[in-house]
Structure 1
Amino acid sequence: MTAPLQTEWWGAIPPAPRHAITFHMPLWSNMLRFRDKDPEILMKFTSMYPRMMPHKDVKELMAKILSVAKTDGQACIPFTTAVSASECVKFATSPSRKAEALSPDQLSIRIFDVANLVRLYVVFLPAQENMVAWPFWMNAGVGISSRWAEDCVKHGEGLREATESEPAPVVVECEAQGVLRERIAGLMERAPAGPPRKAKVTPDDVYLYQTGMASIYSVHQYLLSVYNAKSVLFGFAFHSTPHVLEDFGPGFKFLGNGTPEEIDELEQYLKEEAKEGRKIQAVWLEFPSNPNLSTPDIGRLRKLADGYGFLLLIDDTLGSFCNVDVLEVADIVLTSLTKSFSGYADVMAASAVLNPSSARYPELKALFKKFYTNQFYNGDAEALEKNSRDYMSRSATLNNNALRLVEFLQTLAEDPKSSVAKVFYPTTLPSLPCYKERMRSATEDFTPGYGCLFSVELDTLEATAAFYDNLNLHKGPHLGAPLTLIIPYVMALYGKELDKMADYGMNEKQIRVAVGLENTDTLIEEFRIAIKAADGAKKNTFVSLT
């Protein structure tokens, strides 16, 4: 057993640089208050995932903008494109917001230049109504990054209001952006899983975004501009993805288990839509899914895509493109580079990669040429380029740590005396053949694995709380960080919708584990101690923990 953690509660996990995207929140009782959005708990945080709450540098930039704007009782939300600002206003005034919807005269967009650094398009609205618009920042992910905000604040004396007719500051891409596109293109073609492709990915097929959700939101917007049709979300996905598909466009069909039976259901749905003269624009999925790690049969989905004319968009973040090759079947591969590609929990980014062998490639290439603008900040690109240099070696450690822990826990899950009920990882689930079919070939320097994320289910709520409280590891969201992070993902994000979550095999007794780079045996020992506490909780009487 290692020494008890010394990390500050509510603060960033080590090494805790200025731009940390993590936080540490011990104790099950605190997690329940977080689930309930207890304002006293939320006020304690000194670090937070930057899409959930504004980073301190973003807050400081907002304050400077309000000072220059000379407004009273107003809040502001800064973006780096006019399109994003306009979409934020559209979102806040949409009838779909029902009673929350603001009237158009409550919002305005004003332009500010920061020296020669950037032009900002800033949404102003009454301070008391700020949370009506804030979900756009959270789910679309297109807000200004903390590094960009920091540099804007440093040049605060050059912050001034501008007009559209004035020339905007010219932003030139740094060298790191090109290096990243080349690196990602190379990884996409490294040790492919299938037969030789018609064409190979080039750096020009790699598009960079400021967050994982920005890539999903932006691509969805591109497609809506042409097709304006419903989508399908196949299998469970990160919680912001369904919000994007629901809040923008004509809606989506959700098949949340991602099973072969749901592929049958999808096929029947497509037939019925075709009879009515309709077709969907895209099927979105994660490979594997978050947080239950099931893997859909993307080969069958590819055949449906070809037959019914929809696009197949695959998010490979959890599998990670060092381990899995989904390009053979996807039209677009989306990846949150914030996670294991970066690996140091201090920068947010994403990529969308077009498959040049796809029959839809010319069409998609034209679409991206028309709509894509690079809003990935040079400072973030430089941090990500440096972080990702050791992506492959870190991934080998992450794969090994996760697999060894899963093997340890799976043995306990098979023991009726243990409080461990079930382990969710590609290797423990019936969908394993679907994952293995897309694994990259092993090479002399790297053997592909199953990723850094798994979930473990305890058999009682009391055991779950005891496990969480006694596991001497960091508690919070994120994955792919240097240090292991655990979170009761279902409880924290869906604690008010547990009845609905049961339909997808999820409940409040599940803990999501994102392994880090610690010594494997040390991690296993920490889990052994926590499980001993969970086993002990079964033998005692507890008051209700909910």
Structure 2
Amino acid sequence: MSSTTATSAPNFSGQIALGASVPAFTAHAISVSLPTWDDVVGYEEGDKRVLDVMVTGYPRFFIHLSIRKLARICEQKFGVNNEQAMLFPTRKIAQACRSFMVDHSCQPGPPVPVRLVQFFISPEDASASTATGVELHIALFSAEAFPLAKQFWQHSGLGISSRLAEYCLSMLPDDTEAPSPTTTSTRVPAKRTGSNRHYSAKSSLSSPPCSSPLSVPEPPAAEVLSADQAVYLEERYGRNLPLESAANAKRALRRRIAGVLVRDSPSDWSEAGGHEAELGPSTRGVKEVTEDDVYLFPTGMTAIWNAHQLALGVMPLAKSICFGFPYTDTLKILQKWGPGYHFYGHGLDKDIDDLEILLAKEVSSHPDQPPVLALFTEFPSNPLLRCADLSRLRGLADKHNFLIVVDETIGNFVNVEVLPYADIVVSSLSKVFSGDCNAMGGSLVLNPKGRYYTALKQYLVKNFEDSFFFEDAIYMERNSRDFRRRIPVIDGNTQAVCALLHSHPETVKEVYYPTYTTPEHYNKCRTPAGGFGGLFSATFHTIEASKAFFDALPFHKGPSLGTNFTLACPYTILGHYLELDWAAGYGVEAGLVRVSVGMEEREALLEGFANALKAAEMIPSDDDNSQLRTLGAEIVYRRVVTDPSRSKLKEPESESLVQVLYD
């Protein structure tokens, strides 16, 4: 029997309260409940009703309570003059944070001062404990510099995990006291934001505008569980490897991702990381791939950050290309590290035509310089589920000598083979690979047949450091044991739901799913038994219909995707609240609802979506454009009232304090 079979999401039994963890009562949950459209808007507007009940959030945006507690202890122990702390697992990462803060500081005079402290935490009674010590690296800085540190934490995903924080706390004396809470979530209401240029068609090398932290109430401890309860709830669906077997867990993960395990089923979990495991040629589309070509990271965004650092370290310096409308922090990485990027936000064939023109122009103008460093694209993209013509992009990369980095998170390697077209493939393991929504992780895979494989490999051999905390790896290994068996169930459920919505054009304006969206490019990469994935988006003819549909969905609502249970969010409102017009210009409408379909019984799923459709059908039809203009005008009004100088902005601004909660 599968060790994770029970995670295949029972029929839905009720909403989780606003601000509580998703899944409920899960100490390290990576989603949070935002059950209604108004709750999401309230979050974006800094509504006290919403903020006061937030007990968790997506880990790269909302700093976990255990991490906050440990940071306060470190501030008390090492800080001076009310310094605040950001915690990292290695010295190299802490140094990278300091460099980022110094480089992007816009305060007058000397760069922002950042002190680094090494703190070795060991068990109180080493002779009686099996726990091993932890080397913690602390960046200390003034409160005014906290937003810069938070940017590094968010964009790179390199901060410590909540499990590592709890492990550290478990080794500190019971009488260790933390001072009064300090602001670490920096949740800033959208209407108070100073500037917000998430994206730009033109790369900018200028520093982001400075901002000061805003006081935020400490979330209530509404879900405090005993240690035994937390362990029970996390392990109720399967058996973990013992903590001392972390190396085996990571080896099993690398083999699973490399596709080299001849037998990889839940019943074989104890052998997957052992030396006796039977290995064969990779099933990833490039048979030469081995576990040594797979690198693990604490988050998916860390894998992307490292892919960009890898490109910068190996290739001649040049701008990168972001192809297709991406997840927000991918563009932030390309903007804030290196010389910038070119953005092709639609990700369609016409954009490849334009890219060819750009490359020819760059080569003509600067024949001695490389036109491009690397091209980053998602397959499919989030949230429009578009797929680029990877074979055509591969041809351009070979002609002009740049790397291709493909994020396969949404497609996943059970459904698609993208490695043959890429030099580097990255993925967020936090999503469907895990499924349980309780562990973060990321992976980077090198293509051994790629032109630059040797140089990339040599760079990683010299520079890679393993910062994936062992407990997170152990949970990720457990969660992923039945990954291949879950995917067809999720794929089948999603196709059925999309077919239902697609059959109601009078209510549903558009369904974005690979069967309808650039299917010719998706099918080129689809595996023989592959489906079309578990994520789709839908738009409606009016904003009010979108709201009614979303509010009536009898499933969990919150950030993230790839969960074994159905999870929905009003994606554009959650992620692009201050740039709706700009996002709409790339086809991402304000009323878009994104849904990650789970493993519930199909009849219950279809019934739930049918009821939500009925709620949307009850809304009188209206001119959607007029509604969009009204919604946009309200937000522009708030911005202009706050800062009249912003009334003439043509593009989204350069940096947001809005801590978007989705992924």
State the TM-score, normalized to the length of structure 1.
0.90
2:459 corresponds in structure 1 to 367
- Cα–Cα, structure 1 residues 184 and 399, in superposed 2: closer, same or farther, change >3 Å? same
Assess, with a 3 A threshold, how the Cα gap between structure 1 residues 79 and 341 changes in structure 2: closer, same or farther: same
| Structure 1 pair 309–172 and aligned structure 2 pair: CA distance change class (3 A) | farther
Structure 1 equivalent of residue 374 of structure 2: 282
Alignment-derived partner of residue 129 in structure 1: 145
Which residue of structure 1 lines up, in the alignment, with residue 584 of structure 2? 502
Task: Specify the alignment match of 2:401 in structure 1.
Answer: 309
2:339 aligns with: 250
Matched AA of 2:393: L
> Equivalent residue for 2:237?
none
**1:131, 1:386 → 2: CA distance?**
35
Residues 241-279 of structure 1, C-alpha deviations (whole Å, 9 max, x = no match): 101110111100010111111111111111111121332
CA contact (8 A) 1:187 1:321 kept: no
Contact 1:315–1:333, Cα closer than 8 Å, also in 2 = yes
Matches within 5 A, 1:76-475: 76-95=85-104, 98=106, 103-115=110-122, 116-157=132-173, 174-186=247-259, 197=286, 200-226=288-314, 227-275=316-364, 276-277=366-367, 278-279=369-370, 280-413=372-505, 418-429=506-517, 431-442=518-529, 448-475=530-557
Report the RMSD for the aligned CA atoms in angstroms: 2.4
Structure 1 pair 50–192 and aligned structure 2 pair: CA distance change class (3 A) = closer
Match in the other structure for 2:604: 522
* Distance (whole Å) between structure 1 residues aligned to residue 101 and residue 79 of structure 2: 23
Give the aligned residue type for 1:332.
I
The Cα shift of 1:322 comes to 0.8
CA contact (8 A) 1:232 1:282 kept: yes
Question: Where in structure 2 are the equivalents of 1:12-23 lying within 5 Å?
Answer: 12-23=21-32
What displacement does 1:356 show?
0.8
Structure 1 residues 3, 117: closer, same or farther in 2, change over 3 A?
A: closer
Give the letter aligned to residue 184 of structure 1.
Answer: I
Note if 1:64 corresponds to 2:73: yes
Distance 1:374 1:529, change over 3 A: same
- Counterpart position of 1:25: 34
Q: Classify the secondary structure of the residue corresponding to 2:119.
A: strand
Instruction: Please list every run of 5 or more consecutive structure 2 residues that lacks an aligned counterpart in the other structure.
Output: 1-10, 123-131, 177-243, 262-280, 635-663
Report the Cα distance in structure 2 between the residues aligned to 1:82 and 1:182, rounded to whole angstroms: 28
Q: Which amino acid aligns with 1:155?
A: M
Amino acid at match of 1:256: G
- Residues 264, 21 of structure 1: alpha-carbon distance in 2 compared, 3 angstrom cutoff: same
Task: Please state whether the residue corresponding to 2:86 is helix, strand or coil.
Answer: strand
Matching of residue 534 in structure 1 with residue 616 in structure 2 = yes
C-alpha separation in 2, matches of 1:157 and 1:191: 49
Post-superposition CA distance 1:10-29 (Å, at most 9, x none): 11123542111111111211
State how far apart, in whole Å, the 1-side matches of 2:496 and 2:321 are. Answer: 35
Residue 168 of structure 1 is matched in structure 2 by none
SS in 2 for 1:94: helix
Shift of 1:299: 0.2
Answer yes or no: is the 8 Å Cα contact 1:236–1:256 preserved in 2. Answer: yes
Residue identity (%) = 35
Q: Is the 8 A contact 1:192 1:441 kept in 2?
A: no
Matched letter for residue 383 of structure 1: Y
- Cα deviations across residues 160-184 of structure 1 (Å, max 9, x unaligned)? 9xxxxxxxxxx99621111111111
Q: Which residue of 2 is the match for residue 445 of structure 1? A: none
Distance 1:92 1:53 in 2: 19
Contact 1:191–1:440 (8 Å) recurs in 2: no
Residues 39, 140 of structure 1: CA spacing in aligned structure 2 closer, same or farther, 3 A cutoff? Answer: farther
CA contact (8 A) 2:16 2:35 kept: no
Q: Give the C-alpha shift of residue 146 in structure 1.
A: 1.0
Paired with 1:3 and 1:340, the residues of 2 have a C-alpha distance of: 19
Q: Could you report, residue by residue, the CA deviation over 1:95-137 in whole angstroms, capped at 9, with x for unpaired residues? A: 4x546x8953532111111124322221111234312321110
Look up the SS of the partner of 1:537 in the other structure: coil
CA contact (8 A) 1:483 1:515 kept: yes
Q: By how many angstroms is 1:67 displaced? A: 2.5
Match of 2:264 in 1: none
> For residue 10 of structure 1, what is the amino acid of its counterpart?
G
Letter in 1 for 2:256: R
- Is this contact kept in 2: 1:31–1:492, CA < 8 A? yes
Q: 1:40 to 1:104 in 2, by over 3 A?
A: farther
> Structure 1, unaligned stretches of length 5 or more?
161-170, 443-447
Once the two structures are superposed, residues 212-236 of structure 1 have per-residue CA deviations (whole angstroms, 9 ceiling, x without a partner) of 0001111211222343321001111
Structure 1 residue 302, shift from structure 2 partner: 0.4
Deviation at 1:3, TM superposition (A): 7.3
Shift of 1:35: 2.3
1:392-433 superposed Cα distances (whole Å, 9 cap, x missing partner): 1111111111111111111112xxxx321100000012x101
1:488-528 residue CA offsets vs partner (Å, 9 max, x unmatched): 11111111111111221111111000111111111111111
The question of whether the paired residues in 2 share the 8 Å contact of 1:491 and 1:507 is answered with no
Q: Give the whole-Å Cα distance in 1 for the aligned partners of 2:155 and 2:466.
A: 19
Instruction: Give distance in 1, aligned partners of 2:48 and 2:162.
Output: 23
Specify which structure has the bigger relative contact order, considering alpha-carbon pairs within 8 angstroms and separated by 6 or more residues. Answer: 2
**Residue 23 of structure 2 contacts residue 437 of structure 2 at CA under 8 Å; is this kept in 1?**
no
Amino acid at match of 1:501: A
Partner Cα separation in structure 1 for residue 12 and residue 565 of structure 2? 15
SS in 2 for 1:63: helix
Q: Distance in 2 between matches of 1:440 and 1:233?
A: 25
In structure 2, the CA distance between the partners of 1:394 and 1:533, relative to structure 1 (3 Å rule), is same
Structure-2 separation of matches of 1:344 and 1:34 = 25
Residues 518/122 of structure 1: CA separation in 2 closer, same or farther (3 Å cut): same
Q: 2:484 & 2:406 partners in 1: Cα distance?
A: 21
Distance 1:149 1:434, change over 3 A: same
Distance 2:79 2:103 in 1: 28
- Native 8 Å contact 1:114 1:158 kept in 2: no
Residue aligned with 2:415, SS? coil
Shift of 1:353: 0.5
Q: 1:187 to 1:513 in 2, by over 3 A?
A: farther
